[in-house]
A and B are shown apart, each in its own frame.
Chain A
């Protein structure tokens, strides 16, 4: 069990008011808030040992290098990678996926090959594959959705064939909260000789993800959705795949030796980290992982199951509201997307905002999914470790009042 009251005290922003009302922050799938320990890790770096890493011989540089590599170790431990060098520090999940598209897919996918993805991807796990398919003459295929917005795997044998070179999908949908069977899909992919990329942007912050257990080839995630600052994320790549990949960006840090007309590449993972990396934010991500590990990811998951179940039950009172995604909490994370009948999501968002309640409205960077759901947009509440059932009550009562306000009666 999490001590929510104690947790809330660790997040300075949660005590602020918005339009004179206490902040109710329910937009965690967009970005999470940051605890004091993470903010402190940032200021400590800049106040005490700010310097460039991997090259300097002076004390500050060595200290910063140690702390940066320690953060990489923490990330590796957090996702169950035995080797820290299999983790590449990037800006975010989007950059991680683009790195795979450019450095692996462009060299390993050819004419007539197929990339299998799903109808519930964030644009960041779709648009890069559209480019690879176009550049390489490959075909994009999609796993469709069931009526409860889980993956419909009934036709998987037809979709996943010896032509498939990559299966790219999310572990948890940023719109539906659906948790996808990535381990089983990884096994199925490997049986036909395909690689699997998991977009872990929504899963890594909320449940225990173990790359050894999943046996995935690529895992991408962002720090900012898991208590860390923006601008830092991770791409995990399985060793045998990593050795085969072409560099992503070229320049300093990623080279071993450089001549007038050519260069040799640095060791892994620096080969993929050209230029001065985001040192401060990487170190702060280490602090975020310390915070989550102290809570225990099992406890984080249990809290989110409990608050999401509470929200789904409370939403049943609202007849005119459609809630998307599966009801079975073993297949769902702490994301509740809904459509308020006659009231447009944007109007709901503005009304709730004025009551201090922050939710997300729009297409959530998942326009093809909006088409499948036959809605222009949805409103989305998403939970994290500091959210309470009382905040869900506030959301539901403000939503009721909003629907009344706009009702045509």
Chain B
């Protein structure tokens, strides 16, 4: 069956050089050995995120001490980008205030949508910058953003609850 052109195709190698920018070593490392998986016994913030398009799921829990992220955990199911991004997030927000964590999300989101220069990002984002290659694969951007959008949900929910507590006081 149609030999000629096929032989050329069959000898094609699979070096995947092109995807190395997407699947950087740091990402694969976080995917293979996700950090901070231990469920927290008690948490101040918790939110669940889902991407129905591909079935990625993530739950994030945060424990605050003196207004700083003291412990953080995630549990999830999904592609390497969504899960590595969640793992990187948990490391990245430890020791930060919620405002700082939220600012990091905004910066990361801007990077994913191509709204910031990579020089700025390298300084500000730390390990999160490893996800920069994802923006060249637009269909995967929402995989990378899932955990972060979930963090944002958790922060907003926490702020609403705090506001309610204040206004409930006599």
Contacts and interface: CB of A to CB of B under 8 A. Distances in A.
A, B bound? yes
Interface of A: 4-5, 8, 19, 21-22, 24, 343-347, 350-351, 354-355, 361-363, 370, 376-377, 388-391, 393-394, 397-398, 401-402, 405-406, 408
Nearest to B17: A354
Contacts of B143: 346
A354 B16 contact: yes
9 closest A-B pairs by beta carbon, nearest first, are A401-B14, A376-B55, A390-B6, A346-B79, A5-B2, A344-B79, A377-B55, A354-B18, A408-B32
A260 B42 CA distance: 68
Contact of A362 (B9, B14, B54): B54
B50 to A, nearest CB: 10
Contacts of B167: none
A23 to B, nearest CB: 10
A397 B15 CA distance: 12
A393 B22 CA distance: 25
Contacts of B9: 22, 24, 390-391, 394
Given A8-B2, A346-B54, A376-B55, A406 B28 contact: yes
B23 A405 contact: yes
A363 B50 CA distance: 14
A24 B139 CA distance: 20
Contacts of B23: 347, 405
A361 B137 CA distance: 15
Contacts of B56: 346, 376
Interface residues of B, number: 30
Most buried by B among A21, A402, A405, A408: A405
Nearest to B22: A350
B10 A394 contact: yes
B56 to A, nearest CB: 8
B80 A347 contact: yes
Interface in B1-55: 1-2, 5-6, 9-10, 12, 14, 16, 18-19, 22-23, 28, 31-32, 53-55
Contacts of A377: 54-55
Nearest to B7: A390
A388 B1 contact: yes
A376 B16 contact: no
A8 B6 CA distance: 12
8 contacts: A22-B5, A346-B143, A350-B137, A355-B12, A362-B53, A363-B54, A377-B54, A388-B6
Interface string B53-85: 111110000000000000000000111110000
B140 interface: yes
Contact of A376 (B12, B78, B81): B78
B14 A397 contact: yes
Interface in B112-149: 137, 139-140, 143
Interface of A is mostly: helix
Contact of A389 (B1, B28, B139): B1
Contacts of A391: 9
Most buried by A among B6, B22, B53: B6
B137 to A, nearest CB: 7
Contacts of A408: 32
A21 B31 CA distance: 28
Contacts of A354: 16, 18-19
Contacts of B28: 406
Nearest to B19: A354
A394 B57 CA distance: 31
B1 A5 contact: yes
A370 B55 CA distance: 10
A405 B16 contact: yes
Given A8-B2, A401-B14, 5 more contacts: A4-B2, A346-B56, A346-B81, A397-B14, A402-B16
Contacts of A370: 55
Contact of A344 (B19, B78, B139): B78
Contacts of B16: 351, 354-355, 401-402, 405
A389 B55 CA distance: 31
B42 to A, nearest CB: 29
A373 B74 CA distance: 25
Contacts of A343: 80
A406 B80 contact: yes
Nearest to B2: A5
A322 B37 CA distance: 27
B54 A350 contact: no
